[in-house]
Amino acid sequence: MSAVWRASRAAVRRRKLQTTIIGVVVLLSTATITIALALLAAAAAPFDDAFSQQSGAHVVATFDSSKVSDVRLAQTAHRQGVRAAAGPFGEAVVVVPDGTPGIAAGPLTVVGRSGSDSPVDHLNLWAGRWPTGPGEIVLNSRPSGRGASFPPEFMVPLPGGSKLRVVGFASSVSQSAGAWVTPDQLAGLHPQSVQMLYRFADPGTDQSISAGLATATAGLPSDALTGSQSYLALKKAVAGQTDAYVPFLMTFGVLGLVVAVLIVANVVSGAVVSGFRHIGVLKALGFTPNQVAAVYVLMISVPAVVGCLIGIVLGNVLARPLLFGVFQGLGVESVSVSLWVDVVALLGMPAVVALAALGPAMRAHRLSAAEAISAGGAPRVGRALGVQRRLGATRLPRSVSLGLGLPFARPARTVLTMAAIVLGVAAVALASGLTSTMTAYGNAEELNGAYQVEVTVGGHRPDRPAPTLSDTDTQALLRSLGAVRVTADAWQNVKFTGSTQGLNGQFLRGDSASLNYTMVKGHWLDGPGQLVVSGAFLRQRGLAVGDQVRLDLGAKEVPVTIVGQLMAYDPDGVLSNWDTLMELAPGQRASHYMVQLAPGADADAFVTAFQKASGPGLYPAKHANELNQATLTIVSFATLFTLMLAAVAALGVFNTVVLTTHERRRNLGMLKSIGMTPRQVTVMMVTSMAALGAVGGLIGLPLGVLAHRLVVPAMVRAAGIDLPASMLHVWHAPLLALLAFAGLVIAILGALIPARSAARLTIAQVLHNE
Amino acid sequence: MTSDYSSDQAIVRLDGVHKSYGDPVALNGVSLGIRAGEAVAVMGPSGCGKSTLLNMIAGLDRPTSGTVTVHGEDLGELNETGLALFRRRRIGMIFQFFNLVDDLPALDNVALAAQLTGAPTSQARKRALELLDELGVAEQRDSYPATLSGGQRQRVAVARALMNRPVLLLADEPTGALDSRSGEQVMDLLIDLNQMGQTLLMVTHDPRLARRCASRLIEFADGRVVRESTLERAA
Ligand SMILES: Nc1ncnc2c1ncn2[C@@H]1O[C@H](COP(=O)(O)OP(=O)(O)O)[C@@H](O)[C@H]1O
Ligand SMILES: [Mg+2]
């Protein structure tokens, strides 16, 4: 074995360039795959981790306390199929008035519990403490930097003038309540409902959850159960944000893997072919065929393992900002790359490389010593003959026609090199298509261009005082300063009658159609009592356009009809008209104005003028045309992956030119001796690869378009978005023409350096060494 | 060395040329001249610097010190491209091995030399065919090098070397890889060319062949000229 080891070490040292290429190719591929796997792994993790840590409730069930006694409810914990239960806990709804600092206005579901510990829905009390007596409350909030400025000076006002002081923040993965107080305090809020939290033996599907709940509540008065909330719906909402990345990452991950295998196979077989003489010498020295094969596999493994290790480190470093970008919205404190990802990459990549090396190594295994020594690495002629000859008859400059003939001398290598270019171009095309689609989507989602200035109303945070100017006066001021159109809105938490889950209501006033929300079904708000929501909203709740529901704001209820489905919107959000808000909460003022200026008007000047005239409590800002985090994340990572893949493909070309130069050095020497200039040599070598690049580009482009057609709808489905078909039609002639050149660019970039060193090759050296 | 060769009739002039590859010194102060129309043979033991001498004259390599002037051009003043153009116009070269491009037929191999200068293909092929005809290998015009005999290959190589009407034909052991009959045929060819006025510088191991076709013999040892003699041609 030590002879094998010594021989491969010597081989590695002699082939510094090829060793480096293998190392870099494996490095870049490993990094790509590590990032892809890290995201795949992380996509499932945050919710599942939190859910198992907190023993989340599979179902949060709400009962009418006048219909069923606490004793009977407590007995449901022992029903068949119920593995654990908590409750009954009293439940009341407090309506938080508009303008309460630190707490969103609207209905707040308050539950009475004696502590955060519980066999089901164990709360994460991440700041402050649990209420110890009356007058204290803990808010449900996702962990955030807010813990640092604790204790907050927040108060929850109660009807009748008393207040509850916020003494802590807790988070519930089950979203079982908006806030908690002691059971004694809850009694003072006159609860009419109680909740039970269940964990079932079989929580796999919607059906098994319904069945579990039916068994648990069997025998109770039929109208006792007023609402229930399954953890699967919560999970779907969380996963929807990250699942969107999966098809995208899978595609790039697989592309990266295939390109890496192609290049490694090409590099390794090239090393074997150009090492024929070396193999002959080894065999003549008495190495057995197995030992020769082992030398070659080892020779490849050394750079592969080193490249793999650095690639994993690079992948971990790059994955972190990506994971942060993806999971930012979940309120997860930190997401790290799962250990198994690194383990898989560490074991998998070298295995793949070794597999790619096996074929050529077996060839080295079979070769007889004499054959190997005499083969000397000369390319086989034959298939190439006719081609070179026909090319010689064309009017092309001779260096160009010679170059065009080169790929035919080594068809297998040509196919491998071209396949890498094809995939590189496909990646470039896919990334361009994704970028166009995502940008169109992002622009539509952010309502870019719909308005130029927005004004936010203070009074919701201690550091932002309430305005002195009234709603009407603000609107008038905006108009007097030159606003062409003002659309205002207010946010108000509401819920559907019979559900504990809060909904983010947005109510629009003015010409809201001008905001250009993209609709995929139904129509935009055009009258009172209407609602538009996202597709995700409908799917999670089993609703459809045309359905009637009742909006509930504690004291008031309004019947509304869902008239349209938006392309993208908060999955817990509902959009409605100002009339609806005025029925639910009469007299509420707008909290936000969206101002459309005349074309060409100076938004900065408008902001300054408004600031001067409006007095305190109103915060104007330019509405920048920005893209949201998800769009930016996908676009920047598509770009990063594409650059990596294109670099790897270019390295494949680089390697091919190095090998060709090495094998054809005598021919090169001869061509130079008859007066081929260095430039003609460069042109010849670059042309040989440019031809592959051009053809590879033409094959890769439709593949990339196809991948875009498959990946985008899959992402869209996973994200629960509804994309208008127009956003898939991004392939315009100029873009296609540009992309068709991508293969050419990859080939030329990869070929240029080795082609120039072929041009500088000293002929005397070549002739001498023969 | 006689004063004749330093005069301006000389087509090739070397002055104090040294060439070392690190430790091995290939040329150790060589000065010599070759006049137009001469046929010069270089002989000497293996490794004494004969090929290096030819490479210097062809501009395939540069001397460590000293100057090489060919047809009035100081090769030291030319860059790589300049040297390539110089070879294209002035020099024809024949080697012992590796003379032809494997994947081109004989005719295209010969035409190549003219095509590289930008000559139209039809014109290049026409002249190539004339040369193949003159050298007696016209029938092999469409054969690939691998299917030609050694002698045929070398004739094709000579044809290609002559393609651009070089002022100097350099041959490095042109018969070294041939059987004696083919070797003699190639030598006869070179003699004929020389008699038509082609200046010739060749390296050979075979004193009999040297005597037959050279008008002057330069003997080399350890990178130096050790003897020069004028020959009466045998034939
Ligand atoms: N490119 C080169 N690199 C290193 N050494 C060389 C090179 N070319 C020739 N030599 C050395 O220079 C000396 C002369 O070589 P060469 O001119 O080929 O001899 P000859 O042709 O007379 O056999 C030898 O020692 C040879 O090893
Ligand atoms: Mg020699």
Amino acid identity, residue A413?
Answer: R
The CA R_g of chain A, rounded to the nearest whole Å, is 34
Percent of chain A whose predicted confidence (pLDDT) is above 70? 87
Are A677 and B80 within 8 A, CB to CB?
A: yes
Greatest extent of chain A over all pairs of C-alpha atoms, in Å:
105
Q: What does the domain layout of chain A look like in residue ranges?
A: 1-50+237-380, 68-220, 383-446+627-770, 448-622
Cβ-based neighbour number of residue A539 at 10 Å: 15
Report pLDDT for A377. 43
Are B104 and A678 within 8 A, CB to CB?
A: no
Q: Which helix (H) or strand (E) segment is A547 a member of?
A: none
Phi–psi pair at A66, nearest 5 degrees = -85, -15
Which segment, A135-144, A343-352, A490-499, is predicted with the most confidence on average?
A: A343-352
A chain contacts of residue B103, beta-carbon cutoff 8 Å = 379, 381, 384-385, 388, 405, 409
Rounded to an integer, the average pLDDT of A156-178 is 82
CA of A768 to the centre of ligand 2 (A): 8
B chain contacts of residue A378, beta-carbon cutoff 8 Å = 102
The C-alpha atoms of residue B92 and residue B157 are separated, in whole angstroms, by: 9
The C-alpha atoms of residue A682 and residue A667 are separated, in whole angstroms, by: 14
pLDDT category at A770 given cuts 50, 70, 90 is: low
Mean pLDDT split into 10-residue runs, chain B, 235 residues: 52 94 88 93 92 92 94 92 92 83 88 89 92 92 88 92 92 86 86 91 88 90 91 63
Cβ-based neighbour number of residue A157 at 10 Å: 15
- Please name the residue whose Cα sits nearest to atom 14 of ligand 1: B49
User: A151: cis peptide before it, omega within 30°?
Assistant: yes
Phi–psi pair at B70, nearest 5 degrees = -130, 125
- Burial (CB < 10 A; 0-12, 13-18, 19+), residue A646, is buried
pLDDT category at A143 given cuts 50, 70, 90 is: low
Q: For residue A150, is pLDDT > 80? A: no
Cβ-based neighbour number of residue A677 at 10 Å: 20
Question: Minimal Cα–Cα distance from A17 to chain B, Å?
Answer: 24
Q: What is the DSSP letter of A148?
A: G
The C-alpha atoms of residue A618 and residue A593 are separated, in whole angstroms, by: 10
Predicted confidence (pLDDT) per residue in A536-571, tens digit: 888 878 888 998 888 888 778 889 999 999 887 777
The C-alpha atoms of residue B155 and residue B182 are separated, in whole angstroms, by: 10
Report pLDDT for A310. 94
Closest alpha carbon to B192 in B222, B235, B156: B235
Rounded to an integer, the average pLDDT of A124-153 is 73
Rounded to an integer, the average pLDDT of A575-592 is 88
Report pLDDT for A589. 86
- For testing the chain B interface, which of A674, A679, A688 should be mutated: the one with the most B CBs within 10 Å? A674
Please indicate if any CB of chain A lies within 8 Å of the CB of B160.
Answer: yes
CA of B225 to the centre of ligand 2 (A): 15
Amino acid identity, residue A28?
Answer: L
pLDDT: is A145 or B91 the higher one?
A: B91
Structure tokens at A482: 């030159």
Structure tokens at A129: 């403490």
* Average pLDDT over chain A, rounded to an integer: 81
ipTM summary value: 0.89
Domains delineated in chain B: 10-230 (3.40.50.300)
CA-nearest residue to B85 within chain A is A675
Is residue A360 within 8 Å of residue A266, measured between CB atoms?
A: no
| Ligand 1 mutation pick, B19, B21, B42, B96, max ligand atoms within 8 A of CB | B21
Q: For residue A488, is pLDDT > 60? A: yes
Report pLDDT for A144. 57
Please indicate if any CB of chain A lies within 8 Å of the CB of B36.
Answer: no
Give the HSE-up count for residue A502: Cα atoms under 13 Å, Cβ half-sphere.
Answer: 25
Predicted confidence (pLDDT) per residue in A456-470, tens digit: 887 665 556 778 888
Structure tokens at A634: 């996908």
State whether residue A83 is helix, strand or coil: strand
Please indicate if any CB of chain B lies within 8 Å of the CB of A470.
Answer: no
Please indicate if any CB of chain B lies within 8 Å of the CB of A404.
Answer: no
**Strand pairing of B91-94 and B168-172?**
parallel
CA of A446 to the centre of ligand 1 (A): 73
Query: Which residue matches tokens 């009418």?
Result: A64
The C-alpha atoms of residue A71 and residue A88 are separated, in whole angstroms, by: 9
HEC per residue, chain B: CCHHHHCCCEEEEEEEEEEECCCCEEEEEEEEEEECCCEEEEECCCCCCHHHHHHHHHCCCCCCEEEEEECCEEHHHCCHHHHHHHHHHHEEEECCCCCCCCCCCHHHHHHHHHHCCCCCHHHHHHHHHHHHHHCCCHHHCCCCHHHCCHHHHHHHHHHHHHCCCCCEEEEECCCCCCCHHHHHHHHHHHHHHHHCCCEEEEECCCHHHHHHHCCEEEEEECCEEEEEEECCCCC
Is residue A135 within 8 Å of residue A165, measured between CB atoms?
A: yes
Cβ(B168) to ligand 1 under 6 A? no
Cβ-based neighbour number of residue A472 at 10 Å: 10
Is residue A139 within 8 Å of residue A71, measured between CB atoms?
A: no
CA of B173 to the centre of ligand 1 (A): 14
- Please name the residue whose Cα sits nearest to atom 4 of ligand 1: B21
- For testing the chain A interface, which of B103, B148, B165 should be mutated: the one with the most A CBs within 10 Å? B103
Is residue A536 within 8 Å of residue A606, measured between CB atoms?
A: no
- Burial (CB < 10 A; 0-12, 13-18, 19+), residue B28, is middle
Residues linked to residue B43 through DSSP beta bridges, in sequence order:
B219
Cβ(B27) to ligand 1 under 6 A? no
Are A767 and B98 within 8 A, CB to CB?
A: yes
Predicted confidence (pLDDT) per residue in A226-262, tens digit: 778 788 777 766 665 566 666 676 677 677 767 777 7
Report pLDDT for A222. 78
Cβ(B46) to ligand 1 under 6 A? yes
Report pLDDT for B3. 39
- Please name the residue whose Cα sits nearest to atom 12 of ligand 1: B26
Closest alpha carbon to A275 in A135, A377, A371, A410: A377
Cβ(B26) to ligand 1 under 6 A? yes
Closest alpha carbon to A422 in A745, A749, A700: A700
The CA R_g of chain B, rounded to the nearest whole Å, is 17
Predicted confidence (pLDDT) per residue in A605-656, tens digit: 888 888 888 877 888 888 776 666 667 777 777 788 788 888 888 888 998 8
Closest alpha carbon to B189 in B94, B71, B101, B105: B94
CA-nearest residue to B80 within chain A is A678
B chain contacts of residue A676, beta-carbon cutoff 8 Å = 84, 116
- Secondary structure (DSSP) of A632-695: HHHHHHHHHHHHHHHHHHHHHHHHHHHHHHHHTHHHHHHHHHTT--HHHHHHHHHHHHHHHHHH
Is residue A12 within 8 Å of residue A218, measured between CB atoms?
A: no
The C-alpha atoms of residue B134 and residue B31 are separated, in whole angstroms, by: 36
Strand order in the sheet with B65-70: B25-35, B10-20, B65-70, B73-74
Please indicate if any CB of chain B lies within 8 Å of the CB of A760.
Answer: yes
Handedness of CA A287, A289, A293, A298 (dihedral sign): negative
Cβ-based neighbour number of residue B158 at 10 Å: 25
Closest alpha carbon to A174 in A216, A203, A217: A203
Report pLDDT for A622. 82
